[in-house]
Amino acid sequence: MVGLSDDTTKPSFIVAAYLKSRGYRIIPVNPTVSKVLGEKCYSSLQAIPPKLQQTIDIVDVFRKSEEVPSVVKQAVALKQKCGCPPVIWLQHGIVNEEAAEMARQAGLVVVMDKCMMEEHKRSLKA
């Protein structure tokens, strides 16, 4: 989860805590934090150890829209290196069409402007 904050009032923390409580593995990426939700925090996607990189299913992004291209470039580099991640997810309110197209061109599935927690809750009701 790129941009995961250790501030318990921030949406990124709330979503990560929810997903972790449902059994999902959270890998925090934030250069200003050392640990979140009991998990070691990494400064970038590339800083995640290679064995752990191979387990990434989704790069969930909590960054400003204008910062998304750099995250997508990192995700594309990981995909080229180890085949992961298959999905880049831009949380509610985060839209960057240029970055989304870059991700699609690299073979990533793009979800944009949707809250993963809300989508998960909605799927449980279906």
Does residue 41 sit within a domain? Answer: yes
Does residue 68 sit within a domain? Answer: yes
pLDDT at site 68: 98
Does residue 66 sit within a domain? Answer: yes
The domain total for the chain is 1
pLDDT at site 10: 97
Does residue 5 sit within a domain? Answer: no
CATH number where 116 lies: 3.40.50.720
Does residue 47 sit within a domain? Answer: yes
What are the C-alpha distances in Å from 87 to residues 8, 29, 94? 26, 16, 15
Q: Which residues of the chain have pLDDT under 50?
A: none
What's this model's pTM, rounded to 2 decimal places? 0.94
Does residue 31 sit within a domain? Answer: yes
pLDDT at site 126: 72
Domain containing 96: what range? 11-125
Asked if 16 and 37 count as a contact pair (C-beta separation under 8 A), the reply is yes
pLDDT at site 115: 98
Does residue 4 sit within a domain? Answer: no
pLDDT at site 69: 98
Task: Let me know if 36 is exposed, middle or buried by CB neighbors in 10 A (0-12, 13-18, 19+).
Answer: buried
Query: Rounded to whole angstroms, how far apart are CA atoms 18 and 34?
Result: 20
